[in-house]
Amino acid sequence: QQQVKQSPQSLIVQKGGISIINCAYENTAFDYFPWYQQFPGKGPALLIAIRPDVSEKKEGRFTISFNKSAKQFSLHIMDSQPGDSATYFCAASLVDAGTYKYIFGTGTRLKVLA
Amino acid sequence: DAGVIQSPRHEVTEMGQEVTLRCKPISGHNSLFWYRQTMMRGLELLIYFNNNVPIDDSGMPEDRFSAKMPNASFSTLKIQPSEPRDSAVYFCASRVGPTNTEAFFGQGTRLTVV
């Protein structure tokens, strides 16, 4: 019940296209949904996050869409650029023993072709 | 601040040897997390600490793994004895807890057990 399922495992998009990564969860106790971006040889870094009381959050070319009833959320990258090539992780957070812990999806390797 | 600092960046060791990974969290952060990253399983939460106290170690794969946080500025993850299947990238992350805020990751330690 604490799993977060992420798809696809890998994604290839042409420059200027839209990249879409999907995640699903079961546990309704999750109350914070961040996306992390990881470049090769680096640690993951926070990209954008959403709380379940809103259905969409946009920051520049990055948008999270959130469907609470379906327990699904997705990351949309508009006008994808070669510099967006990275691994993307969705995550879900819940309170456990007085602190918040993140459960990550398995990651999506995005490659944007020039 | 220099961010979360992990050492060593790379470690190659022979099966059966003891391995110790080190982490220095960001000053003022009181939640610390150890993750393991593999291609097959993505980012797995191994253990997390709140105010230097281990809160949940249910993700530690077996008794060969142990983690300590003797003070607010240092944590170790030890594997004894190491096995080839332990080969992975190990990340440490810290956060101003216990609120739902951004977790900052170190650059990771790439462990290879031969």
B103 DSSP assignment? P
Average pLDDT over residues B83-100: 88
Average pLDDT over residues A46-71: 95
Query: Could you say which DSSP state residue A92 is in?
Result: E
Mean pLDDT, all residues of chain B: 93
pLDDT at B99: 66
For residues B44-58, average pLDDT:
91
Is pLDDT of A96 > 80?
no
Is A39 in contact with A112 (CB distance < 8 Å)?
A: no
Are residues A43 and B107, on separate chains, in Cβ contact within 8 Å? yes
Which chain A residues contact residue B104 at CB under 8 A?
45
**pLDDT band per the 50, 70, 90 thresholds, residue A72:** very high
The Cα–Cα gap between A68 and A102 comes to 18
pLDDT the model gives residue A92: 93
List Cα–Cα distances, A101 to A30, B51, B80, B106, in angstroms.
10, 14, 26, 17
Chain A residues in contact with B97 (beta carbon < 8 A) = 99-100
Distance CA B36, CA B107 (A): 12
Asked if B91's CB is within 8 angstroms of A44's CB, the reply is yes
Mutate to test the interface with B, among A50, A95, A102, A108 (most CBs of B within 10 A): A102
Q: What residues of A are in contact with residue B100 (Cβ under 8 Å)?
A: 31-32, 93, 100
Handedness of CA B82, B83, B88, B93 (dihedral sign): negative
CB-based contact A102 B103, cutoff 8 Å: yes
SS3 of residue B52 by DSSP: coil
The predicted model gives B52-66 an average pLDDT of 91
What's the token pair of residue B96? 């101003």
How far apart (Å, rounded) are the C-alpha atoms in residues B20 and A88?
28
Is the Cβ pair B103, A32 closer than 8 Å? no
Quick one: tokens of A28? Answer: 């309704």
Q: How much is the pLDDT for B100?
A: 66
Answer whether residue B1 shows pLDDT above 70: no
Over residues B71-94, the mean pLDDT reads 96
The region of weakest confidence among A47-51, B44-48, B97-101 is: B97-101
Chain A: residue whose CA lies nearest to B45 = A103
For residue B77, which amino acid is it? L
Pairs across A and B, CB distance < 8 A: 66
Q: Please report the sign of the dihedral spanned by the C-alpha atoms of residue B21, residue A85, residue B104, residue A103.
A: negative
